[in-house]
Amino acid sequence: MSKKKKLLMLLGCALCLGLASCKNDNQTSQEATTKVYKKLNSEIDRVSPISNGKIIVEIDNKYGIQDLDGKIIENIEYDKIIRVLENCYYLEKAGMGVIKNIVNNKVVEVNEVGKISEEYLKIMYNNKVGVVDKDLNWVIPMEYDYLEFNKEYITVVKDGKIDLYDINMKKIDLKGAEKVLLGIGNYLYNVKDNKLGIMTPNGDVLVEPKYNNFLRLNEKDVVIGYKGNEKYLINLSKKIEELVDYDSFGEEGAGLILTLKDNKLGYINDIGEEIIPNKYEGAFKADSESEYLQVKEDGKWKLIHKDGKLYKELPYNDIGENKDEYTLVLLNDKFGYMDKNGDEKITPQYLSATSFEQGYAIVGIESGFGIINKKNEIVIPMIYDDIYIQSGYVYVTMDNKKGLLDLSGNEILPVAYDDLGAIDGNVLFYKKANESGYMEIGK
């Protein structure tokens, strides 16, 4: 392609790269008007989305915080600023970092910070770790050697002793367990004599400690347990612990698990029974929204039923995952689309393409990038150097200038801006020549 910026879409399977795509958020076609909402200091290069009337501003690679009226909250002197919680910001200067609440002006020194939830932060400093709330009050003192968290629990370690908290910082009695680690879903891994088992937070042991390691196959209840050279499929909901003989495993999807043995792919169900033998060189994770599996055998892609029977051979060189009811396909270096039944919907004709999301896909030809709908109608002409969809609007770039369109192709802002930010509500940042500010997008 003649354009400098290219959307290179690499199709893949379980043994290859995944299919790339663009993110389309809440896409709706809408006509809009614009007006300047607030002008800012013309020296400002970039700003963050608005948060509680505050913005992070950048001038000459230095950062500060101000409100929309230009009142300085933090001087533009920092090397990095990141909003980590409501009213809480990470500020870094000369290699030193702090978390500051800009409402109560509390400050906590940090070497590392992690977001546990919208209410709590993990704080690490001088090789110790603890937890603060959004007002920067300590809820778990910074005296622990290690802290790990997931969506359900937090474990902290001090002098080899482990304590467990729920996500609301309530301490949980470990019921005599020697040691626990965060496990799959709502479960914990209990440790005894350097072996792993699985237990509930109430202390009920579901799997005795005998495994060297666990591999999660979903986020709820299915793992592979490794014991010496043996592998066991463990389904906690169905109380299954089944010896299985495969080299590796993929994620569970629609009750099926992709397996690899002797460099060939197949499927087992979620209780360890072989459903489709390992004979394919390519395959995708099972999709609950499709009655077929996408597999590759002897260099050819096929759709098969979930019991292994052939449904349809496909003529394409490569295919992607089914997304938004369409699958991206490649034939003779041209991209097109089929539906989940393998019926061709858009003849391969594009040099680059993304998967469909909410009815739209970005495609490219020699002249540039544009957008099509599922009828292969050109919604945005293929003339742009770069293009993406966000919050129901289309951001386009041509000759290093940016513009904004709606999803019907109507121009909202001409391709004349040096920078356009993300739309927050109905307001976005703009920079054009010697003017910076916020533009209000009205419907």
Strand segments (E) across 262-299? 264-269, 274-280, 282-283, 292-297
Residue 338 has pLDDT above 90, yes or no: yes
Across the range 392-418, mean pLDDT stands at 96
DSSP state of 424: B
**Following DSSP, what letter does each residue of 52-68 receive, concatenated?**
TTEEEEEETTEEEEEET
**Residue 254 pLDDT:** 95
pLDDT digits (tens, 9 = 90+) for 27-71: 444 456 676 767 787 788 889 988 888 999 999 999 999 998 889
pLDDT at 17 over 70: no
pLDDT at 32 (0 to 100) = 64
Of 173-187, 201-215, 334-348, the one with minimum mean pLDDT is 173-187
pLDDT, tens only, 239-254: 999 999 999 999 999 9
Give the C-alpha separation, 396 to 383, whole Å. 10
Query: b vs e for 281-298, b when ≥16 Cβ sit within 10 Å of the residue's Cβ?
Result: bbbbbbbeebebbbbbbe
pLDDT band for 424, please (50, 70, 90 cuts): confident
- Which pLDDT score, from 0 to 100, does residue 203 have? 87
Residue 25 has pLDDT above 70, yes or no: no
* Residues of the chain above pLDDT 90, percent: 79
Confidence of residue 443 (pLDDT cuts 50, 70, 90): low
Q: Give the pLDDT mean for 255-275.
A: 98
Query: What is the arithmetic mean of pLDDT over 425-435?
Result: 87
More confident site: 426 or 6:
426
Question: Can you point out the beta strands (E) in 324-426?
Answer: 326-331, 334-339, 344-350, 352-353, 360-365, 368-373, 378-384, 386-390, 393-398, 401-406, 411-417, 419-420
Distances (CA, A) of 400 to 2, 90, 351, 386, 403: 15, 31, 22, 9, 10
